[in-house]
Amino acid sequence: MLGRRIADAAERWAYRIWSAVRQERRRTSGGWPGTLSEARYLVVGQLLPSLDFECLRELAEVDREQVARCLYRNARSSWSHLQRRDVEETA
């Protein structure tokens, strides 16, 4: 359950950045522009407050740093997926 919440938050984060870059009419090529510091901030500021009891219980078994790193990896993966979509659309 916690893993799904992390993946969803990561997708939203990647999409938010991808959308902002596209809106500025810039290319989305290159590496993931997010940072681990931003991931930590998202864990504390958005993910934790939105968790239900079951997810909080799961979170008690891991530390926040692991969750932030997982969130970062998922967002980077989502970013790559969005980039591939851009390349396919322009080809």
pLDDT, tens digit, for every residue of 8-43? 999 999 999 999 988 998 887 788 999 999 999 999
Contacts of 30 (CB under 8 A, 6+ apart): none
- pLDDT at 59 exceeding the cut of 90: no
Confidence grade of residue 91 (pLDDT, cut at 50, 70, 90): low
Give the pTM.
0.74
- pLDDT at 56 exceeding the cut of 80: no
What are 52's two structure tokens? 């239900």
Boundaries of every domain in the chain: 2-25+34-90
Task: Write b or e for each residue in 48-60: b if 16 or more Cβ atoms lie within 10 A of its Cβ, otherwise e.
Answer: eeeeeeebeeebe
Q: Please report, for residues 55, 83, 85, the alpha-carbon distance to residue 3 in angstroms, rounded to integers and kept in the order given.
A: 9, 23, 24
What does pLDDT average to over the chain?
A: 87
42: closest CA among 78, 85, 88, 9?
9
Q: What is the CA radius of gyration of the chain?
A: 14
